[in-house]
Amino acid sequence: MFVKINVASFLFALFVGLVEGSNVIESIVEDHEHSIGTKWAVLVAGSSDWYNYRHQKGSLKDEHIIVFMYDDIAYNSENPRPGVIINKPHGPDVYKGVPKDYTGKYCNSQNFYGVILGNKSALTGGSGKVVNSGPNDYIFIYYADHGGPGIIEMPVEPSIYAKDLNEVLKKKHDSGTYKKMIFYMEACDSGSMFEGLLDKGLNIYVTTASKADENSFATYCSPKDYEDTCLGDLFSVSWLENSDLQDRRVETLKKQFRRIRKRVLNNGTEGSHMMEYGDLHIHEDALSKYMGSNSPEHTSSTNNYPSNSRHVNQRDVQLLYLISKFQNAPEGSVRKSEAYRKLSEVISEREHVDKSVKHIGQILFGVKNGPLVLNIVRPAGQPLVDDWDCLKSFVKIFESHCGSLTSYGKKHVRGFANV
């Protein structure tokens, strides 16, 4: 159990890593030679630190698969199994053999854009691999990260804004270097990265873990030996497990969406609403076009995933991680006092950013109207904001005077957009 602290309803969170096991990604490798075009996969874990365990996982190996991961989890001092990363309770090691194309400081937005566009001259460090695709190729992008309204993180600043991401996708389309693209995004407020921004006619289909104004959730939390973390995200484990269990030559993107959305919503409690954007006709395509095919024998052997798990809001992950560290430390120990110090520090940071944003709203719009204005959600089909450059400037100014927003504080970007 976690200590109850009067700050928020504490829920675990961590979002899933690059891939829940090797089966889906390995079959991309096996299958691409039998298709008309080449299959490309860009897999991004946009977080660092142990409490973001679930973001940094994968098992893949091929010249057409490009991996972004900070890579500070496998040999982290807190890992109970050094050199091993799992993505479900009692699961196998999914770290061994993982190609690490862009790690550490090279796991950044500039390299991400360069990889998608096939622009090697834009890269700074890393393996140099890019999506060097042709007009008949299929591209699959999976992005797991912390997010806020219109923004998602990378371990190294700057963050990725929705407008910039959509401009990169449009530029990729204009280059004529792919046939179809699908983009799966796991993040809080992930719908806001495409709402009112992703043009039709780009041959891009997007599925997000949540609507433009809601959190996404973690799952497989507090398993044995990993009491202070979660192993996966609800959206991510759902589509990955579905991709293993179903015949991907028959299962379409549409069928997968319909099968897993109920699980991701979790009856409206501790769950989120999956969303679709872009050219929806693409969702009639079979999964095998993007993820490769699987054999009936393999499908039947993987039908033993845990059916029940506590699902938790990802925004409070660091806080809950620290609560667990505090509770589990011996009384009177240095570990106990250090855990308390860090926990108090994070609570103070959260309260500071909340109060600062609230104060700005009250100054601009009054004590009564301030909170109302800051929390306005625009109608469906409209982007978060019209002037993205102004929004970026606002965020920079706020952070220069009030401190970093952090993963938690980025929830206030909607308030800044409304201002």
Domains, the chain, ordered by start: 23-314 (3.40.50.1460), 315-418 (1.10.132.130)
> In the prediction, which pLDDT does 54 show?
42
Pairing of strands 138-144, 180-186: parallel
3-state helix, strand, coil in the chain (%, to 5): 40, 15, 45
- The token duo for 409 is 């504080």
Cis omega (within 30 of 0) for bond into 158: yes
**Any idea what the Cα angle at residue 60 is, between residues 59 and 66, rounded to 5°?**
120
- The token duo for 191 is 């719908």
55, 146, 283, 311: the active-site residue:
146
- The token duo for 8 is 């928020």
The torsion angles phi and psi of 312, rounded to 5 degrees, stand at -135, 150
- Residue 211: CA atoms inside 13 Å, Cβ hemisphere, count? 13
The closest of 193, 197, 194, 223 to 88, measured between CA atoms, is 223
> In the prediction, which pLDDT does 227 show?
64
Give residue for tokens 């319909």: 258
Give Cβ neighbours of residue 404 (< 8 Å, ≥ 6 apart): none
- The token duo for 53 is 């365990």
Length of the chain: 419
55, 64, 107, 188: the active-site residue:
188
Kindly report the pTM of this predicted structure.
Answer: 0.84
Q: Which segments of 222-378 does DSSP mark as H helices, in order?
A: 234-245, 253-265, 288-291, 296-301, 317-328, 334-365, 369-374
Give residue for tokens 């860090």: 342
Pairing of strands 65-69, 39-45: parallel
Q: Is 230 a catalytic residue?
A: no
Q: Is 402 a catalytic residue?
A: no
Q: Which segments of 52-138 does DSSP mark as H helices, in order?
A: 109-117
Q: Per-block average pLDDT, block size 10, for the chain (419 residues)?
A: 26 28 45 65 68 39 81 69 70 73 93 98 96 96 93 90 98 98 96 97 98 90 69 88 89 96 87 96 94 60 50 80 88 94 95 96 97 96 97 96 91 97
3-state secondary structure of 254: helix
